[in-house]
Amino acid sequence: MQGRRDASHDGAGVRMKFDIDSLTRGLQYHGDVQGKRQHYYVLSNARQYFVMSLSATKRGAGNFNLVARPAVDRLHRRVRGRRGLTARGVFDRSRDRRAVPSALAALNMLYVLVATGRASIDRRRASRELFFNVRKDHA
C-alpha cells in the first residue's frame, strides 16, 4: 500500500515531507512508560521518536506524537543530573520554542528519555504532575 505524502511538522517544528510507509519501516522499540493515566510506547527511526498510546475506551484507536531525535538529545544534555523536572517546567525554561513548542511536546520528550533509560519518573510525589529525574550518564 502506497502512503500518501503530507506536509507536517517534526518535533522541532520544522516542516517536512513524509509518507506513511517510510514512517513505519524499520522502527526500533525503546520501551514503554506508564504515565498518570496512559501507557506510552516509544519507538524510533533514524530521524524521530514516536510516542504512541492506545485508547483505553476505543478498540483499535490511539494517538502518536513525533519528537525529533536532535531535540531530545539537546534536552538531555541541558537537563542531565536534574531531579524533580516537570513538563511544564521544561517548557517554561526552554529558550527554543521550535524545539519545545508546548508542555505536551516537553512531556513527550521526557517520556522518550525514560524509555531510552536516560531518566526515570519519581513516583514518590503525589501530585497531578509527573516529576522526572534525569540521569547524568546514559544508562
Contact 50, 64 (CB under 8 A): yes
Closest CA to 43 of 130, 102, 116, 103: 116
The pLDDT of residue 14 is 53
pLDDT tens, 82-133? Answer: 999 999 999 999 988 888 999 999 999 999 999 999 999 998 877 889 999 9
Contact 70, 60 (CB under 8 A): no
Q: Answer whether residue 7 shows pLDDT above 70.
A: no
The pLDDT of residue 72 is 96
Question: Would you call 69 helix, strand, or coil by DSSP?
Answer: helix
Q: Answer whether residue 67 shows pLDDT above 80.
A: yes
Q: Answer whether residue 5 shows pLDDT above 50.
A: no
